[in-house]
Amino acid sequence: MRNIVLIGMPACGKSTIGVLLAKSLGFEFVDTDLIIQKQEGRLLQEIIDTDGLDAFCIAEERAILSVTEESGAIIATGGSAVYSRTAMLHLKRNGLVYYLSLPEKEIEKRLYNITSRGIAMRRGETIEEVFARRRALYEEYGDITVDCGGKTMEEIVAEITDCHRAAGINA
C-alpha cells in the first residue's frame, strides 16, 4: 500500500483532508509543516521573517527528506514543497501524489491570515503571482488532480479514496 501525498496551494485543505483520509483509511498522518516547526523550533512565519525564503525552502526540503514512511501514510506537504525536485522525487518514490486544485479566487477567500500563516512568498508578492509560478509544478508532480472547487471535505476524501482504489493500490 503506497502513501498518499497531498500537494497544492495554501488553504486548499491538505492538512484537513489529510487527517480525514488518515482516519477513514487507518493510515498514519504526517504534516511536513509541523515537522519543519519541530525541527526548527519556530513557527513557519518566524523562519521566513528571520532567515528568509531561501532558508525556509532549505528547511522544508530537509523536513520532507526526513519523512521515512514507506507505506500507509497520508503526507500533507506545505504549498511550496514543489520548489524542491529532490523532495518531490523522495515523496513520489513511495507515494501517489494528489494535487488538490482549487480556483484562485477560492484560495484568496480562504487566506485571511496571509501575513502570519507561513506562506513561502516574497515580500510584495501576491497570491496570484505565487499561484501562477506554482501551478505548473503542481501539475508536473501531481499523479492525480482532484478539483476541490465547490466540494465538501467529505466529498474530496471519498474521491481520493476511490481514485486510490481505482489505481489498484491497496487502500
pLDDT tens digit at each of 171 positions of the chain: 689 999 999 888 999 999 999 999 999 999 999 999 999 999 998 998 899 999 999 999 999 999 988 888 999 999 999 999 999 999 999 999 999 999 888 887 777 555 545 576 677 777 788 888 899 999 999 999 999 999 999 999 999 999 887 876 544
Overall number of domains in the chain: 1
As a whole number of angstroms, the distance between CA 30 and CA 24 comes to 15
Q: Is residue 54 part of a domain?
A: yes
Burial 28-56 (b: 16+ CB within 10 A, else e): ebbbbbebbbeebebebeebbeeeebeeb
Q: What is the pLDDT of residue 168?
A: 61
pTM: 0.91
Instruction: Look up the domain containing 34 and give its range.
Output: 3-165
pLDDT of residue 170: 47
Give a yes or no: residue 61 inside a domain: yes
User: Which pLDDT does position 114 carry in this prediction?
Assistant: 53
Q: Rg of the chain's alpha carbons, rounded to an integer?
A: 15
Closest CA to 99 of 3, 7, 4: 7
**C-alpha grid cell, residue 111:** 487566506
On whether residue 171 sits in a domain, the answer given is no
Does 170 map to a domain?
Answer: no
Q: Supply the pLDDT for residue 55.
A: 94
pLDDT at 86: 97
Bridge partners of residue 147, in order along the sequence: 101
pLDDT of residue 165: 79
The answer to the question of residue 145 being in a domain is yes
Per-residue confidence (pLDDT) for residue 108, from 0 to 100: 76
CATH code, domain carrying 20: 3.40.50.300
